[in-house]
Amino acid sequence: MVPKDNARESALAVLSRVEQGGFADPLLEQARTRFDQRDSSFILELVNGVLRHRRHLDWILDQFSPQPLSRTDVRTRNILRLGAYQMLFLDRVPVSAAVNTAVELAKTHGGKSGYVNGLLRNLDRRRSTIVDPPSKDIVKRLSILHSHPAWLVRRWVARFGAERTEALLRENNVPSPLVIRTNTLRTTRDKLRASLESEGAAASETAYSAEGLRVQSSPGLRSLTAYQKGWFMVQDEAAQLIGIMTAPRPGEAVLDVGAAPGGKATHLAELMGNIGTITALEIDPGRIGKIRENCERLGTSIIKPVTGDATAYGEGTYDRILIDAPCSGLGVLRRHPDGRWHKGEDTIRERADLQRRILANCAGLLKPGGVLVYATCTTEPEENEAVIDDFIARSPEFFLADPRPHLPAPAVRLVDGRGFFRTFPEESALDGFFGARLVKKT
């Protein structure tokens, strides 16, 4: 195994790449493969922790630095953030270890070990003097304290008010739960839970999905017998409810748009009893292999992965279509904290235009009497109800249907008066999802 000291070095490399435009998930997946379970978890904690609190950390560090943090190089900046995060947020890491490892990193990367040593030791001595941002500018204050971009805070304050927005921002900085979906083709939730617990994992039933388990701890999911047998798939409970809301039936022809890595497609196959056909449409050819890999592990044989552009795809007609629309991803920022630093308001406008084109094209592939479910993992109305309202206005052959009869009883409350399913901000324990169930008239 790689020595433990290299865990912080790997975290530094990922953080620096993210700040230069990289995406954390693939970088973390690559970086963590060389480490044992303990160090792998530590890297994940460091990277996601710094990304969740980056702006607040910068605000604090600037109070003890002779120059703004923004003027130093990207490596030194992230070495300081790593050190400060461990000192201020991780009780289990001694201050001396946080400072000393940061200094050692600075000797190798950037050569500013004296600056790093002095700043972090000054922070430790004078942490009681840390000043919060002024309260007169509520957007700036919330943006700094909870490390979210000001443009997003401004939008949420206008929609939800300052108090509710602060609660949402705070919840967004809590690590997301690990939720898995039972593969009902091979086992039951009770048997899956018993298998997990027999190998040292702890899990509890999810509140809404009858197929979900929330995993509190495990020795590593991929090492578990249940994983190797294909008894489960990692999938948030909100995403599970989207599949359930689609309500496919055995023998139907289904189109899953935006299918990689196969979470929703395999769920649909399970709901269909593995009888029928599912076309898993994905625009990125590099991700097709992931769909096949998950289908093989879970034993779902009715899924056909296809590479194609959903704005122009025209093969076949379908009884059910599930559009997992490409979106700004603002509903999953707690799961992908780097997203808050990569996106702007222009992202919302760009995605909304793409979503309209995908919906208009794919709707033409639906059979009369068929069902189309449009879903996103974003929080913003322009990508959600505005897209549906525009589509309905242009497509008189479609109507918005009530999804409640198809959802588990506890999830009925997540549907509003118009028939839109949403988990944000109604249910903070779930990822932020939106769903609409459209039916084509016969």
Average pLDDT (291-304) is 98
Structure tokens belonging to residue 374: 């449009």
% of the chain exceeding 70 in pLDDT: 99
Q: What is the pLDDT of residues 385-429, one digit of tens each?
A: 999 999 999 999 999 999 999 999 999 999 999 999 999 988 878
Q: What is the pLDDT of residues 128-185, one digit of tens each?
A: 999 999 889 999 999 999 999 999 999 999 999 999 999 999 999 999 999 999 999 9
Reported as a pLDDT band with limits 50, 70 and 90, residue 111 is confident
Average pLDDT (300-305) is 98
179 - beta bridge partners?
214
Instruction: Give the angle 343-348-353 at the CA atoms, nearest 5°.
Output: 135
**Looking at the predicted structure, is the pLDDT value of residue 440 above 90?**
yes
**Looking at the predicted structure, is the pLDDT value of residue 230 above 50?**
yes
Determine which one of 295, 327, 362, 377 is catalytic.
Answer: 377
Reported as a pLDDT band with limits 50, 70 and 90, residue 3 is very low
**Looking at the predicted structure, is the pLDDT value of residue 307 above 90?**
yes
Tell me if residue 362 is catalytic: no
Model pLDDT, residue 245: 97
Number of other CB atoms surrounding residue 29 within 10 Å: 9
Average pLDDT (296-305) is 98
Reported as a pLDDT band with limits 50, 70 and 90, residue 1 is very low
Q: What is the pLDDT of residues 342-379, one digit of tens each?
A: 999 999 999 999 999 999 999 999 999 999 999 999 99
Model pLDDT, residue 2: 37
**Looking at the predicted structure, is the pLDDT value of residue 5 above 90?**
no
Q: What is the pLDDT of residues 23-62, one digit of tens each?
A: 999 999 999 988 988 899 999 999 999 999 999 999 999 9
CATH numbers and ranges of domains, the chain: 6-129 (1.10.940.10), 138-172 (no CATH), 178-234 (3.30.70.1170), 237-440 (3.40.50.150)
